[in-house]
Structure 1
Amino acid sequence: MRRRTRHLLAALAAGLMALPAAACAGTERTGADSFTVGVLLPSRILPRWEHADRPLIEKRVKELCPRCAVEYANADDDPARQRQQMTSMITKGVKVIVLDAADTRALRSSIRDAHRSGVPVVAYDRLAEGPVSGFVSFDGGQVGRLQGRALLTAMGDRARGGRIVMMNGDLGDPNAAWFRQGALSVLTGRVRIARSYDTPGWSTDNAHAAMAAAIAALGPRGIDGALAANDAIAAGVVSALKSAGVRRLPPVTGQDADLEAVQRIVKGEQTMTVYKPFRLEAAAAAEMAVALARGGRPGGAATTTVDSPTTRHIPARLLTPREVTAATVRQTLVKDGVYTVAQICTRAVRPACDRAGLDAGRP
């Protein structure tokens, strides 16, 4: 009887010892586990990286794992620096890395090093090459389709055979090709693509120079629309048109819902932007990273798979982007808390806000 009692007590003790591990299963557990999540972002050029993505990822990681830490670094558009940052994080013992690669090909060897070290990598916003364990982004094809449709709508009758300039993103960024393919699926056969340019670094200055060349070749009145891949490029397009003395600006698209772009939209200088709710993207990346760090799979954070040039069937989450025009600023960006009306409707923009129906006296 004593022996049986001892066996029962031993079994009970073993069961109790196993409870913390069982209780911590899944990404939503908030048990006693603790580890460090590495977050590597590519640049500071776009406001979103520092002001939205970074704090949102950190916040969601802490919600999922209160005792976890986040190690952060920004590459400042330097792939070599990002490789060093990644090596440093692996050496420090991070359990998982969320990576938005400054150069998706250049980081391939670093991703292999992380894989060999048992550190899974979640590709964030753009799909890096190498053995990544997960991918979180917005549907780039849909981004391009939204831009293409909005451009055709804004061009109206001029869309039939009208001449447009394609202002694509950085040739080294796989997202640029994704956006372009989506846009072309809408535009091909509907308009004439008079000029097409890639924009190194997604730079406003480079976009200005390219658009100035297009204006010189086609004439100030020879452009019926501009497909600008993002808001930084749109800024360069608009400034080049103004510098050329174009008073009635043709439709210009954008992406990322930068504050200055939203103000251009309200003023009628830019037709639309594509809003990507960064909170959803950051949350999905944090959930995927925490699940992988805990030794699991991406689980519910992944709803599909994608292929990269080096890796097939990568667990992925592709979120849905949204179009924003002057008529929908309030029910999208303001409603989601991205900006207040007061932030958008500064003194210089206030008359345009009044015309657009944005009451600067309201939040």
Structure 2
Amino acid sequence: MRWAPSGVTAPGRAVLAAGMALAVAVVLSGCAILSTGQESSEAAGRRACGILPGGPDAASRWADLDAPLLRESLSAEGFTVDIRLVPAAEYSSAADDLLSGGCRVLLLTDQDGAGEPVALRAADRGVPVLAYDRPVTAADAAVGFDAGAIGSLAATALTDALTAAEVDPATAVIVTAPGDPSDPRSAEFTRGATETLEAAGAAPSRSLAGVWDEFRTGISFARALSALDGEIDAVWAADDANAAGAIDVLADSGAEGVIVVGQGASLTGLRNILLGRQTATVYTPVALEVDAAAEAAVALARGEEPATAAALDDGTPFIAVQPQIVGVDQVADVVADGGVTVGELCAGDVADACARHGLG
């Protein structure tokens, strides 16, 4: 299933501003989830449940950002909140425990296909399911960032940088470093980037084997660079780790002025941007995704369909949260949002670069 809504326009600041204004309006309206008189069914009537990726192999964002922000935002909407962070193998038991206690709505992030059986179990109990950040078959609605738009935004940043450097995108030597093709989001990142590059008349000179791995990307990129006799203008990478793999090889080869665009606004990516080793990254603010999820959860808890004209390929209503491009001048915005701390960002050899850009 594509994480690609129909009728969703390319990201822009105007769209993002409109989405933020809508989220604020909903919060300020003080909508009640329950009517008065339902106080006797406190457990099921006010309980928002959630299952997010957890365990040693899960990204830190789920425990550090998504879970606490979701608890805060859902609580502000009048829910009592029970969110579990568990590995895919424990999704089934976590769902049994949550659903047996009563849930008004279930927020669910898929992990290795474990989400669909949980969604079907919730449907059997009449509990609406909101797919959070990733698509889940059988969900009642979905909220997340449009992966195709993320890939497109990164490719636009790349072609814009080429043009600014007076390099014609149509003749530029570009290497792409996609993610693991088994990940549906990876395929969408690549699709969005490819369509945007083609629209600019650009085409990859080399496309590496898709992985989510800095080291393996570096090995593949070194081979590609050698095959190109060291001639390269730009790198599009599906995430900042893959970008870092290419960046290390470029540094070892002595190449200069190569445009590198990644995705994720990771600590590594932001540090590379400040050091001038990476041109840009795509930032997906978790706080905006959380606010959109809380609004959608309120609607589902009332038995309503969330207000959106967009849908996934299977018809699931989709609330698209818009990504943002981050270059050196926008790194401070990520810090202000709490995506990274100044202490983490400006440690070691990045301290001088932080000082030059008013950080630290």
Q: Identify whether the pair has TM-score above 0.5, normalized to the shorter chain.
A: yes
- Residue 60 of structure 2 is aligned with which of 47, 60, 72? 47
Contact kept? 1:148, 1:183, Cα under 8 Å: yes
Using the alignment, how far apart are the partners of 1:280 and 1:70 within structure 2?
20
**Is structure 2 residue 194 aligned with structure 1 residue 194?**
no
Per the alignment, residue 73 of structure 2 pairs with 60
Larger mean Cα displacement after TM superposition, 232-241 or 50-59: 232-241
1:320-339 superposed matches below 5 A: 320-330=322-332, 332-339=333-340
Structure 1 residue 182 displacement after superposition: 1.9
Change in Cα spacing, 1:74 to 1:190, as seen in structure 2 (3 Å) is farther
Cα distance per residue 1:311-332 (max 9 Å; x no partner): 32x22211111111012222x2
Structure 1 residue 183 displacement after superposition: 1.4
Using the alignment, how far apart are the partners of 1:218 and 1:268 within structure 2?
23
Per the alignment, residue 134 of structure 1 pairs with 141
Which SS does the other structure have where 1:157 is aligned?
coil
- Residue 211 of structure 1 is aligned with which of 212, 221, 224? 221
Per the alignment, residue 303 of structure 1 pairs with 308
Contact kept? 1:165, 1:194, Cα under 8 Å: yes
**Code of the aligned partner of 1:152:** T
Per the alignment, residue 168 of structure 1 pairs with 178
Per the alignment, residue 156 of structure 2 pairs with 149
**Alignment coverage as a number of residue pairs:** 320
1:172-187 superposed matches below 5 A: 172-187=182-197
Change in Cα spacing, 1:89 to 1:196, as seen in structure 2 (3 Å) is farther
Which SS does the other structure have where 1:334 is aligned?
helix
Structure 1, unaligned runs of 5 or more: 1-23
Which SS does the other structure have where 2:130 is aligned?
strand
Per the alignment, residue 47 of structure 2 pairs with 35
Change in Cα spacing, 1:36 to 1:56, as seen in structure 2 (3 Å) is same
1:1-363 superposed matches below 5 A: 26-27=32-33, 32=39, 33=42, 34-41=46-53, 45-65=58-78, 68-75=80-87, 79-104=88-113, 107-128=115-136, 130-155=137-162, 156-158=165-167, 159-188=169-198, 190-200=201-211, 202-219=212-229, 221-242=230-251, 244-248=252-256, 250-292=258-300, 294-299=301-306, 302-308=307-313, 311-312=314-315, 314-330=316-332, 332-355=333-356, 357-360=357-360
Using the alignment, how far apart are the partners of 1:28 and 1:145 within structure 2?
41
Change in Cα spacing, 1:63 to 1:237, as seen in structure 2 (3 Å) is same
Using the alignment, how far apart are the partners of 2:35 and 2:343 within structure 1?
39
Change in Cα spacing, 1:268 to 1:197, as seen in structure 2 (3 Å) is same
Larger mean Cα displacement after TM superposition, 95-104 or 278-287: 95-104
Cα distance per residue 1:104-137 (max 9 Å; x no partner): 5x54333223222323221111222x21111111
Q: Which has the higher contact order (CA 8 A, sep 6+)?
A: 2
Cα distance per residue 1:61-81 (max 9 Å; x no partner): 111125x13131232xxx444
Contact kept? 1:103, 1:173, Cα under 8 Å: no
Aligned residues with identical type, % of pairs: 31
Cα distance per residue 1:46-65 (max 9 Å; x no partner): 43222211111111111112
TM-score by length of 1: 0.77
Contact kept? 1:126, 1:174, Cα under 8 Å: no
Structure 1 residue 25 displacement after superposition: 7.0
**Code of the aligned partner of 1:336:** D
Structure 1 residue 42 displacement after superposition: 6.3
Structure 2, unaligned runs of 5 or more: 1-29
Q: Which entry has the higher C-alpha Rg, 1 or 2? A: 1
**Code of the aligned partner of 1:122:** L
Using the alignment, how far apart are the partners of 2:298 and 2:342 within structure 1?
36
